[in-house]
Amino acid sequence: MTAVESAPAPGTRRAFRTPRHLTGGIRAGLWVVLLVLIVIMPLFVSSYRLFQIELILLYVGASSGLNISVGYAGEMLLSQATVMGAAAYAGGLLTLNEHWSLLASLPAALAVAIIWQMIIGLAGLRIRGLYLGLVSFFSVLVFANIVDLLQGWTGGDDGLIGVQQLFSSQSTNGNTYSYETVVIIAVVSVVVASQFVASSWGLRLRALRDSPYGLAVSGVSLTRTKLATYVVSAIPAGLCGWCLAFVNQSVSPSIFGLSLTLVLFAGVELVGPGTIVGPLIGTGLLEIYSNLVSPFSSYNVLGLGLLLAVVILVFPNGIRRGGGRTIEALRDRYRHRRSPGGDAASAPGGPPASATAAETEAEQTGFDRALVLESLKSVEALHPLSFPTAEPLLKVRDLRRSFDGNLAVADASFEVKAGGIMALIGDNGSGKTTIINMISGLLRPDAGSVVICGQLATGRSAHQVSALGVTRTFQIPQLIGELTVRENVEVGLLRAHGVGFARGVLAGFATWKNQRMLRAEADEICRLLGLSESEIGTRIEQLPLGLRRLAEVGRAIATGSPVICLDEPAAGLNSKELHELGRALLALQQSNRAILLVEHNVRFVMGVCDDIVLLRHGEVVGIYPDVRSNPLPEELRTFFSNVWVEAAE
């Protein structure tokens, strides 16, 4: 029994679940009922309650924007409250002082919101995590100061008084019209956010969050992805902020301060960051609570704070995820009772089970080239790439890099031809990974050059280097844990086949054809790697290391790059996975690609590779062509025997 077979098979688990389309139907039905209830609310409630509901709807709408940046893209851009504020001031000032019409002020307000977000996000292009959180958090304070500084214009601390209503409450049904306008604005806000992530941008944002390196080496610009995130997250905030000015009939800086920031952020994190409905429910609950208790009481703050703390401590990954986990665990226990013979290794989320890990260790070197070549005949080969084979696809010249004065790589030179598989071997610390980092543009060399497909790669950023035709995998796989193998392979397709920004924002739901195409291509690549249907549809975090490595190789293949660098792809693979990996590499070789791999598994290296580069202390000891046909040179034999001795000990 190998780790592959013991991986959880979603098919079997689904047997105990309500059929998917049915739950989907029920869920959609519930949402329609809720929406209808919201729409007909004016029939039941007083005008004050209606006003409260309007506020809740607008904050919920805005939270869907924050969810884009914080939940999906993992960018801690906490300036959402002030983005609302900027739009509110724009709307209020333009209508009140400049006498613009309501409708004309909307696009202007939206533009102001986006520009303000970009100014704050500018810092985010170079920083991440806590730092970005801090800078954007600071902008919340600065907002009030700026309003004060522009007192003559904005009314300062007292705020902007006398802003018109959406529809005058004196007119017949004015209140109802206003309310329904708010509903439309909130729904549009949610739709804008949802359809953006429904397109291939959803995948791109999650890759930015969980595997930015993986995204960059797939040729996608991190900077552009961030910029897109900032713009899209500002749209719902802009819409709702603009609307808020007319609902409150005033704009004051205190509304867009710390407490709104915290409520929005908490609302997003509370239930299910990175899902569409989670933040809506979270923010909705928080706002309903605070309106019930009265927003200005100390008890409101006390309750909100405690709720937030307790919920995070109980469900640290968000209620939805936490609750989902619990249900999965229960279901699994049930399943085990049903089938006592079921093996323990199949627990979901289980890391490479220890029982199989030992087997993996034993079988690790079992790689049979002949068997691989035999099985390859049954696979339709990849579309062969046509390259002038005379010119090497990858040329490394005098590459040099030191860390704090320690020379890690000293003037390394070698080249890999189309259809060649070259291995970089050497002891730990001999500079293998450093060389791959420099080739893929993640690390700048101190001197020397890398030429990919005839073009100089040195000095470009990682995604530009990748676009020249090189991609790579990592020692620690850089994948999106909550997504399936298929979706992770799709990341590799984003550069060539992802939809454009405008299509994502304006017609994200209409890109289903593109989605289907991405799926189909990713499926095909996964099958080439010998992955089963159930493995393809399993979340990465539930898979053992070996399959994660294969998923990364799949992503590399998906980019269509003629040069592929693999950093210890065979580490942690069992014999079946090794076989599949070897098969994929030989198939890539036959399609005329150039492959460079760093590897410790000698049998695998000898079975797959044509040429070997031996490194010692950052220097190239020797380049040995055609190691399988020529007798093994002395240096290699010494190196290999040392590896064997170490392995035996």
Partner 1 sequence: MNLTTLGIGIATGIALGGVYSLIGLGFTLVVASTRLFLFVFESVVALGGILAFWFLNDEGWPLAAAVVAICLVGAVSGLLLDITVHRPLIGRVRDMGVAVLVATIGLSIAADAVLSLLFGGDPRQTQAYVSATPFIIAQIPLQWSFVVIVSVLIAIASGFAWSLRHTSIGHQLVALQQDHEGAQLLGVRVSRLTTGVFALAGLLSALAGFLITPLADASATTGSTLIIPAFAAMAVGGFGSFTGAIVGGMVVGLVEGIVPLYANVNAVNPILLGIIVLVLLIRPVGMFGRPDLVREY
Q: Using CB under 8 A, which residues numbered 149 to 208 contact partner 1?
A: 149
Token pair in block for residue 197: 């992530």
Cα–Cα separations (whole angstroms), residue 564 to 385, 392, 536, 589: 13, 13, 22, 10
Position among 19, 305, 349, 500 found at the interface with partner 1 (CB under 8 A): 305
Closest-CA residue to 538 (of 492, 494, 491, 482)? 482
Least distance from partner 1 to the Cβ atom of residue 320, Å: 13
Nearer to partner 1, 41 or 271 (CB): 271
Options 57-65, 230-238, 311-319, 603-611: segment touching partner 1 (CB under 8 A) = 311-319
- State the Cα–Cα distance between residues 363 and 250, nearest whole angstrom: 72
Position among 61, 85, 133, 155 found at the interface with partner 1 (CB under 8 A): 133
Asked if 141 is part of the footprint of partner 1 (rule: CB under 8 A), the reply reads yes
Position among 22, 34, 104, 302 found at the interface with partner 1 (CB under 8 A): 302
Asked if 540 is part of the footprint of partner 1 (rule: CB under 8 A), the reply reads no
Nearer to partner 1, 308 or 636 (CB): 308
Asked if 142 is part of the footprint of partner 1 (rule: CB under 8 A), the reply reads yes
Least distance from partner 1 to the Cβ atom of residue 135, Å: 6
CB-hemisphere CA count at 13 Å for 126? 3
Position among 230, 265, 387, 414 found at the interface with partner 1 (CB under 8 A): 265
Asked if 118 is part of the footprint of partner 1 (rule: CB under 8 A), the reply reads no
Assess contact for 69 and 282: CB atoms under 8 A: no
Least distance from partner 1 to the Cβ atom of residue 468, Å: 22
Amino acid identity at 286? L
- State the Cα–Cα distance between residues 447 and 458, nearest whole angstrom: 9
Position among 60, 135, 357, 563 found at the interface with partner 1 (CB under 8 A): 135
Token pair in block for residue 209: 């969050």
Contact flags string 204-223 toward partner 1, x per CB under 8 A:
-------xxx----------
Handedness of CA 295, 301, 302, 306 (dihedral sign): positive
- State the Cα–Cα distance between residues 228 and 222, nearest whole angstrom: 10
Q: Using CB under 8 A, which residues numbered 457 to 486 contact partner 1?
A: 478, 481
Nearer to partner 1, 69 or 574 (CB): 69
Nearer to partner 1, 30 or 306 (CB): 306
Q: DSSP class of residue 171? A: S
Phi, psi of 483 (to 5 degrees): -105, 165
Asked if 347 is part of the footprint of partner 1 (rule: CB under 8 A), the reply reads no
Instruction: Using CB under 8 A, count the residues that bind partner 1.
Output: 48
Buried b (16+ CB within 10 A) or exposed e, 548-573: bbbbbbbbbbbbbbbbbbbbbbbbbb
Least distance from partner 1 to the Cβ atom of residue 144, Å: 8
Token pair in block for residue 128: 């991440």
Token pair in block for residue 63: 């939270």
CA angle 195, 199, 205 (to 5 degrees): 100
Nearer to partner 1, 316 or 341 (CB): 316
Nearer to partner 1, 127 or 456 (CB): 127
Beta strands across the sheet bearing 619-624: 470-472, 563-567, 594-598, 421-426, 611-616, 619-624
Nearer to partner 1, 304 or 529 (CB): 304
Options 145-153, 226-234, 337-345, 523-531: segment touching partner 1 (CB under 8 A) = 145-153
Asked if 367 is part of the footprint of partner 1 (rule: CB under 8 A), the reply reads no
Contact flags string 45-84 toward partner 1, x per CB under 8 A:
-------------------------------x--------
Token pair in block for residue 510: 């209409």
Give Dmax (Cα) for the chain: 96
- State the Cα–Cα distance between residues 630 and 374, nearest whole angstrom: 23
Assess contact for 584 and 553: CB atoms under 8 A: yes
Reduce the secondary structure of 59-121 to three states and give it as a string: HHHHHHHHHHHHHHCCCCCCCHHHHHHHHHHHHHHHHHCCCCCHHHHHHHHHHHHHHHHHHHH
Closest-CA residue to 423 (of 603, 612, 567, 578)? 612
Least distance from partner 1 to the Cβ atom of residue 408, Å: 17
Least distance from partner 1 to the Cβ atom of residue 255, Å: 17
Position among 72, 89, 116, 137 found at the interface with partner 1 (CB under 8 A): 137
Asked if 329 is part of the footprint of partner 1 (rule: CB under 8 A), the reply reads no
Asked if 571 is part of the footprint of partner 1 (rule: CB under 8 A), the reply reads no
Token pair in block for residue 482: 């909550």
Options 34-42, 119-127, 223-231, 461-469: segment touching partner 1 (CB under 8 A) = 119-127
Options 11-19, 100-108, 188-196, 306-314: segment touching partner 1 (CB under 8 A) = 306-314
Asked if 312 is part of the footprint of partner 1 (rule: CB under 8 A), the reply reads yes
- State the Cα–Cα distance between residues 522 and 493, nearest whole angstrom: 8
Nearer to partner 1, 147 or 394 (CB): 147
Assess contact for 580 and 550: CB atoms under 8 A: yes
Least distance from partner 1 to the Cβ atom of residue 141, Å: 5
Position among 62, 240, 308, 584 found at the interface with partner 1 (CB under 8 A): 308
Nearer to partner 1, 416 or 551 (CB): 551
Options 20-28, 131-139, 490-498, 597-605: segment touching partner 1 (CB under 8 A) = 131-139
Contact flags string 231-260 toward partner 1, x per CB under 8 A:
---------------------------x--
Assess contact for 182 and 166: CB atoms under 8 A: yes
CB-hemisphere CA count at 13 Å for 93? 19
Asked if 269 is part of the footprint of partner 1 (rule: CB under 8 A), the reply reads yes
Least distance from partner 1 to the Cβ atom of residue 334, Å: 23
- State the Cα–Cα distance between residues 226 and 234, nearest whole angstrom: 12
Options 102-110, 227-235, 313-321, 630-638: segment touching partner 1 (CB under 8 A) = 313-321
Position among 73, 262, 597, 613 found at the interface with partner 1 (CB under 8 A): 262
Sequence-separated (6 or more) residues with CB below 8 Å from residue 264: 59, 62, 63, 66, 80, 81, 283
- State the Cα–Cα distance between residues 433 and 565, nearest whole angstrom: 10
Asked if 126 is part of the footprint of partner 1 (rule: CB under 8 A), the reply reads yes
Least distance from partner 1 to the Cβ atom of residue 306, Å: 4
Token pair in block for residue 470: 């090189």
- State the Cα–Cα distance between residues 481 and 561, nearest whole angstrom: 24
Asked if 115 is part of the footprint of partner 1 (rule: CB under 8 A), the reply reads no
> What residues make contact with partner 1 under the rule CB under 8 A?
76, 122-123, 126-131, 133-135, 137-139, 141-142, 145-146, 148-149, 211-213, 258, 262, 265-266, 269, 298-299, 301-313, 316-317, 478, 481
